[in-house]
Amino acid sequence: MGVHNQRKEYGSMLVELGKKNPDIVVLEADLGKSTMSCMFEEAFPDRYFEMGIAEQNMTSFAGGLALAGKVPFTNTFAVFASGRAYDQIRQSIATAKLNVKIVGSSSGMSDFGDGATHQSIDDVAIMSAIPNMTVFTPCDGLEVRRAVEAAAQLEGPCYIRLCRNDLEDIFPADAAYRIGEPVVLREGTDVTVFTHGIMAHEALKAAAAAEKEGISVSVVHIPTIKPLNEEAVRTLSAGKKGVVVCEECSIRGGLNMLVSFALRGSGIPMESVAVMDVFGQSASSHEELLEYYGLDAKSIYRKIRKAAGKQEV
């Protein structure tokens, strides 16, 4: 185990896939050195399209490439990938089920210095609501490689959400990857914590702290927000005192709503950790924002205690 950056692993995997499949092409909206699509440009300059700060045009162009038999990956910050090009994604790509892979970099609040305009708290809700879209939210750098590989092999539109910052490894490099299937990272009997994206790291820290207090916590990572095996969610929640759902995006339209729907009528208490319908802001670090918005391990720990029926301290 080590530390890897999701963006760098993404760029590296793109190059690997590009060597195997000559139909893979990459489009960039003037952020290649940040999204790390520049790695593909260096390896395959004739299959790389710098589209400038014109996300709508880039997305439509990608649709045309897909119709010509290519496998296009579009790249920009998550907030622009999902928001600025929404109409083109919906009307030109998703309705026709075109084989376009949309990659949103610097997701959530990981672009901590640039504030609300560059922090994507709503991209998961936007992309999940689009029919025919598969939504990948990997938790570490090595899982990004498997997610990108799976997206490249899947026929149809995909969205891949990437964090800006370095992350400790959770999965081994050779871990199996199954679209739609929750992955148990830690077994426990009292509370189940469901997470996606980078929140798995905070949840595992919180679970370790809860164990010291005698609370047994299961941590479950959701590799793809869409599709999601609802029956697996119910099975992993059965018999627990409560569940906690954690995500670095809006509570509206994300994993909290999906788990709540899956557990409807079960009577299992549920606690939520998410961005509570507010915009982000600039800060000196990503960790500072996670703490401020109640997305850090300490905040999850408090929710675990509540779900377990413990009195607040």
Domain of 205, CATH number, reads 3.40.50.920
187 and 164 fall within a common domain: no
Structural domain includes residue 31:
yes
CA–CA separation, 94 and 158 (whole Å)? 9
163 and 219 fall within a common domain: no
150 and 71 fall within a common domain: yes
Closest CA to 130 of 161, 89, 160, 102: 89
The helix (run of H) or strand (run of E) holding residue 195 is strand 191-195
Task: Give residue 313's pLDDT.
Answer: 61
Q: How many CA atoms lie within 13 A of 281 on its CB side?
A: 7
Structural domain includes residue 30:
yes
Q: What's the number of domains the chain is made of? A: 2
Q: Is 296 exposed, middle or buried (0-12, 13-18, 19+ CB in 10 A)?
A: buried
Structural domain includes residue 175:
no
Task: Give residue 311's pLDDT.
Answer: 72
208 and 274 fall within a common domain: yes
Structural domain includes residue 71:
yes
Residues involved in catalysis: 55
Structural domain includes residue 294:
yes
Domain finish residue from 138, 168, 198 = 168
* Contact criterion met (CB below 8 Å) for 87 and 80: no
Domain finish residue from 168, 202, 234 = 168
Q: How many CA atoms lie within 13 A of 156 on its CB side?
A: 10
153 and 278 fall within a common domain: no
Residue given tokens 């679970």 in the structure block: 207
Residue 140, classed as helix, strand or coil, is coil
Residue given tokens 């490894």 in the structure block: 169
CA–CA separation, 94 and 36 (whole Å)? 25
Structural domain includes residue 134:
yes
* Contact criterion met (CB below 8 Å) for 199 and 246: yes
Residue given tokens 């963006």 in the structure block: 7
Task: Find the CATH number of the domain harbouring 29.
Answer: 3.40.50.970
190 and 147 fall within a common domain: no
22 and 147 fall within a common domain: yes
Give 25's contacts (C-beta < 8 A, 6+ positions apart): 47, 48, 49, 65, 70, 71, 72, 73
Structural domain includes residue 44:
yes
205 and 304 fall within a common domain: yes
141 and 199 fall within a common domain: no
259 and 206 fall within a common domain: yes
> Tens-of-pLDDT digits for all 313 residues of the chain?
699 999 999 999 999 999 999 999 999 999 999 999 999 999 999 999 999 999 999 999 999 999 999 999 999 999 999 999 999 999 999 999 999 999 999 999 999 999 999 999 999 999 999 999 999 999 999 999 999 999 999 999 999 999 999 999 999 888 899 999 999 999 999 999 999 999 999 999 999 999 999 999 999 999 999 999 999 999 999 999 999 999 999 999 999 999 999 999 999 999 999 999 999 999 999 999 999 999 999 999 999 999 999 877 6
DSSP-assigned letter for residue 89 = I
Task: Give residue 90's pLDDT.
Answer: 98
Residue given tokens 């788990």 in the structure block: 259
162 and 232 fall within a common domain: no
Residue given tokens 């750098």 in the structure block: 141
Closest CA to 122 of 283, 245, 275, 273: 275
Range of the domain at 144: 3-168
141 and 194 fall within a common domain: no
Structural domain includes residue 174:
no
Q: Is 172 exposed, middle or buried (0-12, 13-18, 19+ CB in 10 A)?
A: exposed
Predicted TM-score of the model (pTM)? 0.96
